[in-house]
Structure 1
């Protein structure tokens, strides 16, 4: 297994497209699987279309599902931070993408996206792992 760790700044964005980073990581590999994992209790990863409004639609939907108010039992951090801890139950902290001859086998409009609504921690680690097939 080959691994790498990305350090991502989410202070200016709630969604960060990681596709090019994942492509670069896999480009020198052969056939196998690329696992992308965010080891944080308040962030997740998604495969989705970006740049066409879908990214804003996802953020809007998550903010409607997980309002930033005092309804949560988990209360440390900024107001509504409990919502951040529910996010990974809805948006998985990992995705796996097949790789063929160093090429990610994503669909035409799919991108690998880090989802981070948590404003208390703008630094995220993302672990990439390649498992040869």
Structure 2
């Protein structure tokens, strides 16, 4: 069996508010173009110190619930030692320890093998950096 590795970057504008951005369609489109019906793995990576990748249900309130939970766990106040940018920005640098900057997902016959309600999301609480890069890599 031959294997191929293909990678592409997405440029995502998250804006000036905390965001959960659904990347599922972008990931599926990438696989349609490169997977050619093969089984393999899709890796999603955000090369930023203040953003992460999460699998969750979107559109039913879970995205807002996640942001609310992160506010409870990581308040945007001046308790953080990391102090530059918007007040409380130090919390954004702790985020990737809770919402990792990567996910690796199975691809079966060229398609994402997600559960019924799972979506691939970029989680960005950093309001100081509205432009994000996400790297998609397929190995199959």
Q: TM-score, normalised by structure 1?
A: 0.97
Residue from 65, 74, 79 that aligns with 1:57: 65
Residue from 8, 12, 28 that aligns with 1:8: 12
Task: Provide the secondary structure at the position in 1 that maps to 2:10.
Answer: strand
Structure 1 equivalent of residue 80 of structure 2: 72
Aligned-partner Cα distance in 2 for 1:61–1:96: 24
Aligned-partner Cα distance in 2 for 1:101–1:89: 32
Aligned-partner Cα distance in 2 for 1:19–1:97: 12
Gaps of 5+ in 2: none
Task: Provide the secondary structure at the position in 2 that maps to 1:21.
Answer: helix
| Aligned residue runs from structure 1 range 83-94, under 5 A | 83-94=91-102
Aligned-partner Cα distance in 1 for 2:18–2:80: 24
Cα displacement string for residues 47-101 of structure 1 (whole angstroms, at most 9, x for unaligned residues): 1100011111000000111111100000011100000000000001000111011
- Does 2:40 correspond to 1:32? yes
Please provide the CA RMSD for this pair.
0.9
Task: Provide the secondary structure at the position in 1 that maps to 2:75.
Answer: coil
CA shift for structure 1 position 15:
0.6
Q: TM-score, normalised by structure 2?
A: 0.92
Structure 1 equivalent of residue 133 of structure 2: 125
Structure 2 equivalent of residue 23 of structure 1: 28
The number of aligned residues is 132
- Does 2:117 correspond to 1:112? no
Aligned-partner Cα distance in 1 for 2:40–2:78: 45
- Does 2:86 correspond to 1:81? no
Gaps of 5+ in 1: none
